[in-house]
Amino acid sequence: MKIGENLINKVKEKIAISDVYRQPEDQITITVDRNDLPEAVRILYYDLGGWLSSMVPNDERQINGNYTLYYILSMEGGKMTPDDEIVKEDKCWITVKTYIPANDPTYPSVTLKVPAAVWYEREAFDMFGLTAVGLPDPRRLMVSDDWPEGLFPLRKDSMDYRHRPNPVDHKDEPEHEFIKPEGAGVLDVPLGPLHITSDEPGHFRLYCDGDTIIDADYRLFYQHRGMEKLAENRMNYDQMGYLAERVCGICGYAHSIACIEAAEKAIGLEIPLRAQAMRVICLEIERLHSHLLNIGLACEVTGNVNAFMHIFRIREFSMELAQLVTGGRKTYGNVVVGGLRRDMTGNEIKQSLKILETIETQTNEVWDAVMDDKNQIKRWKGVGILDKQVARDFSAVGPNVRGSGFKRDSRYDHPYDFLTQLDFDIPTEDGCDVFARETVRYKELLQSVSIIRQCFEMMPGGLTVIKPQTLIKPQAFAIGNDEAPRGENIHWIMHGNAQKVYRWRCRAATYNNWPSLRYQFRGNTIADAALIVCSLDPCYSCTERVTVVDVKSNKSKILTHKDLKRYSQSLKNHPLKNL
């Protein structure tokens, strides 16, 4: 029996499936009627042990006259208990596909049955104008308040969309409404968009009873960079790797790998073993410097600057390691379709092994010192609880979900590249709090050192790159996945003509962690809020809008791009402009 065949048969018992498509073998796409969509996703999610890894809206009117939705589920078991897991041989990806008529761009909301779909369905409207009927939270997600109505950037008939349109007058548009709990005496505390504990913007509204947070709401996407639109029909696949690296300044290499491997899998391209091993090395180097950064920041946010400086001293060794492997202190600019641009020498491998010993020894020493600090542990324990059921409902990823006891890791559930030949563990903790998440990161640092060491010691010979004969396979699509430092990254690519991208969907790990954050705020104090956000290791984008709060009237106003430009020009002749 083929991989996933048993799961598909169970869905067929309740839902009519019009088509089953495999590309590659462990990536299965089933097509259902749009009215059956919510139940099909629910069955796979809760009954059969799936997790919602991504949802891809696509404008396929040029291909079949419809819009199309792809709900991508990682079939690995619910994992609420140690026995609730699918056997390794049956783990796969199942995508539920449905067509949305162009003259009726609506579909029944999946969120009502699977809460993890909420952000995806809000985004589908912002970008494509596809309305999820019954969606509990239909507010704008990605576009700003002053974005013109009726302009949906990722529709193919928006190909003339090159620049941000002139914003509409903000006075005629409703401001984004934060959901505030009812009741007298609820204090509204804004955190951000710009805050001293974060170098990126996120607007959090904390609703408090005294000093205790009883609920929260937040808004992100303060600058949508339009990267998916930029990729369409303009870039070849080697250029796509460079673009994907710019998704994140910390784990850009993980995005590049997931993006390029999606393109490779869509045409069935197998890269050389040496390139596979070196890709894994670079991914784990990225995990080293990212986890060290987050553990250090989790100390700094609580005032432990001394621990932060010692951890950053160790982090410097990971940057030296990256330079030996790729030629640069970041692992960027090295991925191409078919492998890698740069090989390593034997001497570089020897130097790398010595650096690994230093990282391992000093990491253990500093962690032991942090664990001896009772005040530090007190600030971490019991703070920011991510309940297991909430994590299950919202498909959280990375250390965020592993700190709540779930053995979820793309390297374990869907191993890629050279990982199938390596021996490593997936650390989990049951505390569900900040302490559990940081402990998971510490243990993963040691596992990353082990994985890199194994790759060096088992390094295959041969080429690091092969040139594919062709990438022209129109409408072929596939998933590229890897375990970035923050969790599972999912890239979905549909090939177009002339070796160009028809549709690229990038889902970063933090995207799946944001929706459940409000539950982690509840019951904590205002002083813990920044630490809870930090423990997610979140990835924001840059900002071009701010919220101004008038402390006298307790009213807020969002300053648009137009407002900021006008205010900036008014300061040109200010008498203090040269100070």
The structure tokens listed for 516 are 């459940």
User: Does residue 197 belong to any structural domain of this protein?
Assistant: no
Q: Are residues 129 and 258 located together in one domain of the fold?
A: no
Q: Is 208 annotated to bind ligand?
A: no
Cis ω before 193 (30° cut-off from 0): yes
248 class by beta-carbon count within 10 Å (0-12 exposed, 13-18 middle, 19+ buried): buried
User: Does residue 133 belong to any structural domain of this protein?
Assistant: yes
Q: Is 542 annotated to bind ligand?
A: yes
Q: Is 248 annotated to bind ligand?
A: yes
Last residue of a domain, one of 139, 159, 175: 139
Q: Are residues 444 and 297 located together in one domain of the fold?
A: yes
CATH number, domain of 61, equals 3.30.460.80
| DSSP letter for each residue of 46-88 | IITTEEEEEEEEEEETTTTSEEEEEEEEEES---SSTT----G
Q: Which of 197, 435, 451 is nearest to 295 (CA)?
A: 435
Q: Is 251 annotated to bind ligand?
A: yes
For every one of its 579 residues, what pLDDT tens digit does the chain have, with 9 covering 90 and above?
Answer: 899 999 999 999 999 999 999 988 999 999 999 999 999 999 999 999 999 999 999 999 999 999 999 999 999 999 999 889 999 889 999 999 999 999 999 999 999 999 999 999 999 999 999 999 999 999 888 887 777 888 888 898 754 455 556 665 555 545 567 777 777 678 888 776 665 555 666 778 888 988 899 998 888 876 667 788 888 867 777 788 888 888 887 888 899 999 999 988 888 889 999 999 999 999 999 999 999 999 999 999 999 999 999 999 999 999 999 999 988 887 778 888 899 988 999 999 999 999 999 999 999 999 999 999 999 999 999 999 999 999 999 999 999 999 999 999 999 999 998 999 999 999 999 999 999 999 999 999 999 999 999 999 999 999 999 987 665 678 889 999 999 999 999 999 998 877 788 999 999 999 999 999 999 999 999 989 989 989 988 776 433 334 344 445 555 555 555 665 665 566 555 544 443
Last residue of a domain, one of 97, 119, 139: 139
Query: What whole-number distance in Å separates Cα of residue 316 and Cα of residue 318?
Result: 5
Q: How many domains does the chain have?
A: 2
Query: What whole-number distance in Å separates Cα of residue 204 and Cα of residue 191?
Result: 5
Last residue of a domain, one of 104, 139, 174: 139
Q: Please state the pTM of the whole predicted model.
A: 0.89
Q: Are residues 134 and 237 located together in one domain of the fold?
A: no
Q: Are residues 376 and 506 located together in one domain of the fold?
A: yes
Task: Please report the beta strands in 85-185, taking only residues with DSSP state E, as ranges in sequence order.
Answer: 92-101, 106-108, 131-133
The structure tokens listed for 495 are 């090939």
- Residue-number span of the structural domain to which 53 is assigned: 5-139
User: Does residue 107 belong to any structural domain of this protein?
Assistant: yes
User: Does residue 500 belong to any structural domain of this protein?
Assistant: yes
56 class by beta-carbon count within 10 Å (0-12 exposed, 13-18 middle, 19+ buried): buried
Query: What whole-number distance in Å separates Cα of residue 276 and Cα of residue 460?
Result: 9
Decide the pairing of beta strands 212-219 and 203-209.
antiparallel
User: Does residue 252 belong to any structural domain of this protein?
Assistant: yes
Q: Are residues 116 and 240 located together in one domain of the fold?
A: no
User: Does residue 336 belong to any structural domain of this protein?
Assistant: yes
Give the CA angle between residues 141, 192, 252 to the nearest 5°: 65
Most distant pair of Cα atoms in the chain: their distance? 79
User: Does residue 208 belong to any structural domain of this protein?
Assistant: no
CATH number, domain of 344, equals 1.10.645.10
User: Does residue 150 belong to any structural domain of this protein?
Assistant: no
Q: Are residues 351 and 492 located together in one domain of the fold?
A: yes
Q: Are residues 400 and 528 located together in one domain of the fold?
A: yes
Give the number of other Cβ atoms within 10 Å of residue 21's Cβ. Answer: 12
